[in-house]
Structure 1
Amino acid sequence: MTSRANALRYPEGTTKVGTARVREDRTVGRSFAERELMRRTGNAPHSRFDEIADGVGAPAIADSIAGSARAAAQIGSAAPLGKALKSLTAPAKASKYRNTKCESGGIKFDSKREMARWHELVQMQARGEISELELQVPFILAEPVVIAGRKRPALRYVADFVYEQGGVTVVEDVKGRVTEGYRIKRHLMAVRGIAIKEVK
């Protein structure tokens, strides 16, 4: 029986075996620097590994080290590649309020808590406890104005959920942390006669 290693060896210069094309891969067993040098110049660097393995001695080792340094100098500094790889593997910047954005059923949520509350409300609506459930409903608190010659947009509050329960419209917000901006918007909503139900 022929071993698998022998079955995969073909004479030098073979381009086809049956209908399959033989891939010429002469880079196997070479270092990154050697492969990159071959890619850029089209020439394979001279290897002294066999001489070192045969115990030729310190001169062969010194030549090998010098050859590696020459190959590295021809390729260039690896620092830019290192920076690029580091930026790809760096952990994502934490969100301002430590919440984790997530998605469910094609709907994006600002936090897992908000997503869980949405699922609860959907079930409540299915049981008939609430109706007309809406997500991310905007309320205009102040109209657009011009201040110091610059147009400022309308001041808005976006409620997480709005639904009807027992003939009353409920405006609900899932809150982990109450910010100063939210306090002002809550106050302006109360001035309009709308109380926000906060779910923690």
Structure 2
Amino acid sequence: MERMTAEQLRALQQSETPKEDKRRVRGAQRTTVDGIAFDSKAEADRWCELSLLQRAGKISGLRRQVEIPLEGRDGPIMTDTGKQQRVYRADFVYVDHALGCQVIEDRKGHATDVFNLKKAILAAQGIEVVLT
């Protein structure tokens, strides 16, 4: 049996198992459309749909990756270090002219536990998130 050093073993393991982005959910692959990077193909496709709706005048004020601060009963919900306020990052925010209101939308294949928790906190703040 041939022996190898710890350094050789690490190099071999790294070459066999590429580093994966831990933020990716269920194999979602980053996609770029018109020079804009999206977390998934589904999110990129929805951006294209919403862009068409905006050009048609059905919606306006289309923005992406909008941060909404999370508030609890006793004030801001802070990160574990206590130095920053936690936020929910909406995939899309726009005004729907047919509904006459602002829409906060998240494009997901499935709702994660973290998403469900943040959605519940936002609901307590009077903010509804639409899952598409």
State the 1:192 CA deviation: 1.5
- Measured in 2, the distance between the counterparts of 1:146 and 1:129 equals 38
Q: In structure 1, what is the equivalent of residue 4 of structure 2?
A: none
Of structures 1 and 2, the one scoring higher in RCO (CA 8 A, sep 6+) is 2
Query: Contact 1:136 / 1:161 at 8 angstroms: preserved in 2?
Result: yes
- Measured on the aligned residues, the alpha-carbon RMSD in Å equals 2.5
The TM-score with structure 1 as length reference comes to: 0.51
- Kindly, what percent of the aligned residue pairs are identical? 33
Seen in structure 2, the aligned counterparts of structure 1 residues 96 and 126 have a Cα distance that, compared at 3 Å, is: closer
1:141 matched residue in structure 2: 70
Q: Structure 1: 5+ residue runs without aligned partners?
A: 1-79
Decide which of 1, 16, 20 is 1:93's aligned counterpart.
20
Alignment CA distance shift 1:117-1:146 (3 Å)? closer
TM-superposed CA distance for 1:93, in Å, is: 3.0
Corresponding residue number in structure 2 for 1:178:
111
Q: Which amino acid aligns with 1:134?
A: R
The answer on whether the counterparts of 2:70 and 2:86 sit within 8 Å (CA) in structure 1 is: yes
Show structure 2 runs of 5+ residues with no match: 1-7
Say whether residues 1:165 and 2:92 are aligned partners.
no
Between Structure 1 and Structure 2, how many residues are aligned? 115
| Structure 1 or 2: more strand by fraction | 2
Decide which structure has greater helix share.
Answer: 1
Residue 119 of structure 1 is aligned with which of 34, 37, 48? 48
Tell me which structure has the larger Cα radius of gyration. Answer: 1
